[in-house]
Amino acid sequence: MPITTAYETRIDHVSILDEHGVFDETLGQDLISEDQLPAIMEHLVFCRQLDEIAFKLQRSGRMGTYPQNTGQEMPSLAAALAIEKADWLVTCYRENTGLFWHGLPPECILLHWMGDERGNHIPAGVNATPIAIPIGTQMLHAAGLGWAEKAKKTGAIAVTFFGDGATSEGDFHEAANFAASLKLPVVFCCQNNGWAISVPSSVQSAGETFAQRGISYGMPCVRADGNDLFAMTKVMKDAVARARAGEGPTFIEAVTYRLRDHTTADDARRYRDAGELETWEARDPLPRLRRWMEAKGLWDKSQHEKAMKSGEERVAEIISNAEEIAAPDRSEFFDHMYADLPASLKRQRDSKRTTSLGQFPEDLA
């Protein structure tokens, strides 16, 4: 038989709570405890409030730029629910819900987008990396972290997030190949939100799915409804268990949608169809979860109002913490460059002058 099948595969699509409120009891059973759901909903309400206020801060000149997370809250939150404190979240910039759940102070994110480098100072004990703006770099960091944890035999793993556009970067392919070949404890989660700024995902890749990008590296691949917290939690838990058991990485494609502009420097109305937006607004992950929780008696209007009020107060406090941080001293610029600062730089630090501003007076003597 000259022609045989060299390879065959199948990619599953996982959905548990769909946009019509239908819940798959078999798959959804015991995924997230009912006791935990009210705290999750409070968190989601708070994160969305922060997202909307961050937009307004930028519009009123109090923030440089900001990429809204609205609509994409579930994938990273599911990761945070599925991992342990010692595990790593290695993200790009639409993963606030997961980062905050994993312990990152929200002030860090605001400071980052306000242009304050101290936003990238992750507190000790929070295993997260600074959000990555150069597209794709973080996937390599996740492979490296996974490799280090494996070498140290800690049992900790790394979950990395990236967009559909980022899968076209060489960095993705290097990280995926490295992690799969060495069976590293890493989870690759692609948030396919339909767009890479103005490039639709249909132009980004000729493949039917982004999930299949992991196949060539020998990773199990799965697609899930990225607007369904339960589906995302299931695929994350499965992938985390594989990584933890030493079985190597998994590729997850979370099918979701960016309900706002790419960043505050964008106007998506210029390239995006209003009808498409409307379709995805009906799939908004927050009202979907809220309706289901209300129907199950796990949430009600008064709890929602309370969450909105406490969320507003918390957001206000976080903004004032971020805005009232004392400006850094110029000399701090030198503190992180060298273990032992060379004499010429010590001189610049102490005089607050560079030779380009003219010679030092003592040299003229």
Rounded-to-integer distance, Cα 247 and Cα 144, Å: 17
Residue 94 binds ligand TPP (CB under 6 A): yes
Binding residue for Mg ion, selected from 83, 196, 236, 318, defined by CB under 5 A = 196
Rounded-to-integer distance, Cα 123 and Cα 246, Å: 28
Residue 169 binds Mg ion (CB under 5 A): no
Angle at 33 between CA 28 and CA 36, to 5 degrees: 130
Nearest to 337 by CA among 326, 346, 324, 328: 346
Catalytic residue among 102, 223, 258, 260: 258
Rounded-to-integer distance, Cα 290 and Cα 282, Å: 13
CB atoms within 10 A of CB 60: 8
Q: How far is the CB of 79 from Mg ion (least distance, A)?
A: 17
Using left for φ > 0, alpha for ψ between -120 and 50, and beta otherwise, residue 136 falls in: left
Binding pattern to ligand TPP, positions 257-286, x when CB under 6 A? Answer: -x---x------------------------
Antiparallel, parallel or unpaired: β 195-196 and 199-200: antiparallel
Q: How far is the CB of 187 from ligand TPP (least distance, A)?
A: 17
- 345 CB contacts (<8 Å, ≥6 apart)? 334, 337, 338
Residue 197 binds ligand TPP (CB under 6 A): yes
If the CB atoms of residues 135 and 187 are measured against ligand TPP, the closer one turns out to be 135
User: Is 262 an active-site residue?
Assistant: yes
Options 3-11, 110-118, 188-196, 240-248: segment touching ligand TPP (CB under 6 A)? 188-196
Options 79-87, 131-139, 210-218, 300-308: segment touching ligand TPP (CB under 6 A)? 131-139
Question: Mind telling me the catalytic residues?
Answer: 258, 262, 271
- Judged by the rule CB under 6 A, the positions of this chain that interact with ligand TPP are 94, 133-135, 163-166, 193, 195-197, 258, 262
- Judged by the rule CB under 5 A, the positions of this chain that interact with Mg ion are 163-164, 193, 196
